[in-house]
Structure 1
Amino acid sequence: MSYDLVVLGLSLSSSWGNGHATTYRALLKAYARAGRRILFLEREQPWYAAHRDLPAPDFCTLAFYDSLDDLTRHGPAIAGARAVMVGSYVPDGLAVARMVLGHAQGVTAFYDIDTPVTLATLERGACAYLSADLIPGFDLYLSFTGGPTLERLERVFGARRARALYCAVDPEAYRPLDILPLYDLGYLGTYAPDRQPALERLLLAPARAAPDLTFAVAGSQYPADITWPDNVMHLDHVPPGEHAAFYAAGRFTLNLTRADMVKAGFSPSVRLFEAGACGTPIISDPWPGLETLFSPVTEILIARDTSDVLRTLHLMEEPERKAIGARGRTRVLAAHTAAHRAEELDRHIAAAALEGAAVSA
């Protein structure tokens, strides 16, 4: 079988400890609805194998490979595809990228779900899944980060075509639910050392200061020595199928951004769009470009310190809270669904193929 798109990504089968799986699921499901045939190639890893929540997707073919040698059996599919996309954090990513660039005859793309982290590690010479010399080899560099970073990718790193392809949400999976709030503020996110100070400032400190309020943190890999306040419930993992219920169970949801992404700006987390689609009002840390996605005050709330969070939780009236959530949902449905991203992806691939054909001629 020939494929319209072959993807080599970190994981599609397991959302445990990573946000890549939900991103790929939403994007590829929407892309398949346009009649596209998709093959996803995933490196077999024991930690994902033990936590699979989508072992057999119905929108694409999912195949596992055990090693680089095993990957070569998929060489014909890679060579014959209309487009081949390599994602960030793929194990043995350097070798995988070289293999793809050596075999693919269609459009090649690098899909960077971690652009600021990638560029920071490239500058230190410590990126395990991409090297600067490989970037000009791809027809497309699709980035989770927009804004000035795109120009930097082309000017400094030699990317042929750097284009933003933000994360998105599947509105069928993320929608308002008729659930009474169980906590005042919830946060959904895997532990990250550079996000922890913000979690301390914008959730744990408010929890200690307001024992009359309730909080929830859902995410894996938090150190065992973290002392959770008595009014903070910690859940080790919430599978994607229960994300909407988690958002609905909070009066507000908290969005936190990793340090490299704050510095780069224009790096929305998928949690923004998920919570927004569920109609849950979002309290976010500030970063450049956020205002291009949501209008502050009317569609999203910005918190810089503990007092900002406490003021919102204690003083905002219920009609205003619901109105902010509804406006945020309207914004997401208008511009940030998986269908929007699938259309963008198709346009980028078509443009790269057209330009490539013109150069060959």
Structure 2
Amino acid sequence: MKFVLFYHSLVSDWNHGNAHFLRGVAAELLARGHEVEVYEPAQGWSLGQLRQAYGEAPVEEFGRRFPKLRSRFYDPATLDLDEALDGADVALVHEWSEPDLVARVGRHAPRGCRLLFHDTHHRSATAPQEMARYDLSRYHGVLAFGEAIRRRYLEQGWCARAWTWHEAADTRVFRPLPPAPRRGDLVWIGNWGDDERTRELSEFLLDPVRRLGLSARVHGVRYPEAARARLAGAGIEYRDWLPNWRVPETFAQFRVTVHVPRRPYVQALPGIPTIRVFEALACGIPLVCAPWPDEEGLFAPGRDYLVAEDGAAMQRHLRDLLHDRARAAEQAAHGLRTIRARHTCAHRVDQLLAILAELGARPATPVRSLSHA
């Protein structure tokens, strides 16, 4: 089948976590013999910020790291959608796309093309007036990265059909690496988050690191000067943006990591872990999470990862994992098994193809992916 995907960026993961999952899904579809074309705006915000900060080097490195993944850059004012969608069996449009583009794709999709809208954000709960602007009347349904979002689309009447399509780990990239020289005890990879988790970062990251006297590092972007000063005050080394494909080698240099979810996901959209949890477990590093309700039963809390109900519990869990290497290794192995059994991009492509079959898409010769292993 021919898949045409309209996303904010395939090339840049600068403050753009959806690129992680998109790369894995596109690579999986290609490996199964499908045709994949990804369109991203030439003046996209994430890619623009990346170039402004680092020039062309990261773009060139992306090309070397993912030689089979390519974007078609477009100007919304001149994009010929009849040409872009010619021969498309499936079109996926991401919710970062402008409402005008979403509507135009719906009007220009050829007969027989299955149209799906892909939502991976919390705006459906926190800014419903923005999502109501999208005309999905010609779309066959919505792929929502959590059950709470799926229900919201149906309850609001924004679409007639919706499926829960969680993110997952691209196990071509995210996998345990051989032991590397240690750079410290703990690493956290995440962006500041526009004050959506400032209090939580203090309680579940900065304070436990400071009290335990750990050697720690943070990678991420959009950290204001005040935030960097707070990291320094806790004895945490701050590093800027880390290309997502370098995350596994970074995890291999540290002994433990944490997950501190943004407040909107915990309060308004329970059950959505975001992709960082999948990727950390896929790399085989012990993980401790600040509280988030796993309402959809994606994982086995307490075995795949530990849950810290407050800062004191986070401190205890980190101390225990760092001092009991056998326990840490057992937990990491359990989490890795869960990812490989249920949460790879290959599993999500299986689900996507099943949804398309439900919608009557033209069947293709089935190809079993090796990345399930």
Do both proteins adopt the same fold according to a TM-score greater than 0.5, normalized to the shorter chain? Answer: yes
Q: Say yes or no: does 1:288 pair with 2:293.
A: yes
Among 16, 21, 24, the residue aligned to 1:23: 21
User: Could you give the per-residue CA deviations for residues 268-296 of structure 1, whole angstroms, max 9, x where no partner exists?
Assistant: 21111111011111111222226712212
One-letter identity of the residue aligned with 1:121: A
The 1-side partners of 2:62 and 2:170 are apart by 15
The 2-side partners of 1:82 and 1:162 are apart by 19
Q: CA deviation at 1:318?
A: 1.1
One-letter identity of the residue aligned with 1:231: G
Q: Per the alignment, in what secondary structure is the counterpart of residue 183 of structure 1? A: coil
Contact 1:79–1:103, Cα closer than 8 Å, also in 2: no
One-letter identity of the residue aligned with 2:8: L
User: Could you give the per-residue CA deviations for residues 34-68 of structure 1, whole angstroms, max 9, x where no partner exists?
Assistant: 11101100101232444524247543542101x32
Contact 1:117–1:261, Cα closer than 8 Å, also in 2: no
Task: Call closer, same or farther: CA 1:47–1:152 in 2, change over 3 Å.
Answer: closer
The 1-side partners of 2:158 and 2:94 are apart by 18
Task: Call closer, same or farther: CA 1:64–1:110 in 2, change over 3 Å.
Answer: same
1:59: which partner in 2? 68
The 1-side partners of 2:339 and 2:4 are apart by 28
Q: Say yes or no: does 1:315 pair with 2:320.
A: yes
Contact 1:144–1:268, Cα closer than 8 Å, also in 2: no
User: Could you give the per-residue CA deviations for residues 61-95 of structure 1, whole angstroms, max 9, x where no partner exists?
Assistant: 42101x322222x42232531011111222xx101
The 2-side partners of 1:346 and 1:239 are apart by 29
User: Could you give the per-residue CA deviations for residues 209-234 of structure 1, whole angstroms, max 9, x where no partner exists?
Assistant: 222x1221110111122212352111
Instruction: Give the alignment of 1:1-361 within 5 angstroms.
Output: 4-45=2-43, 46-49=48-51, 50=55, 51-52=58-59, 53-55=61-63, 57-65=66-74, 67-72=75-80, 74-90=81-97, 93-105=98-110, 106-114=113-121, 116-122=122-128, 125=129, 127=130, 130-132=131-133, 134-146=135-147, 148-177=148-177, 178-192=179-193, 193-211=195-213, 213-226=214-227, 227=229, 228=231, 229=233, 231-263=235-267, 264-289=269-294, 292-316=297-321, 317-353=324-360
1:359: which partner in 2? none
Contact 1:166–1:268, Cα closer than 8 Å, also in 2: no
One-letter identity of the residue aligned with 1:63: R
Where does the alignment leave 5 or more consecutive residues of structure 1 unmatched?
356-361
Q: CA deviation at 1:145?
A: 1.2
Contact 1:184–1:252, Cα closer than 8 Å, also in 2: yes
Q: Per the alignment, in what secondary structure is the counterpart of residue 292 of structure 1? A: coil
Where does the alignment leave 5 or more consecutive residues of structure 2 unmatched?
363-373
Task: Call closer, same or farther: CA 1:218–1:61 in 2, change over 3 Å.
Answer: closer
Q: CA deviation at 1:208?
A: 2.4
Q: CA deviation at 1:319?
A: 0.5
The 1-side partners of 2:87 and 2:78 are apart by 18
One-letter identity of the residue aligned with 2:127: T
- Tell me how large the CA RMSD over aligned residues is: 2.1
Contact 1:299–1:325, Cα closer than 8 Å, also in 2: yes
Contact 1:268–1:290, Cα closer than 8 Å, also in 2: no
Q: Per the alignment, in what secondary structure is the counterpart of residue 191 of structure 1? A: coil
The 2-side partners of 1:267 and 1:26 are apart by 19
User: Could you give the per-residue CA deviations for residues 147-175 of structure 1, whole angstroms, max 9, x where no partner exists?
Assistant: x4423321323422211111111223111
The 2-side partners of 1:351 and 1:112 are apart by 20
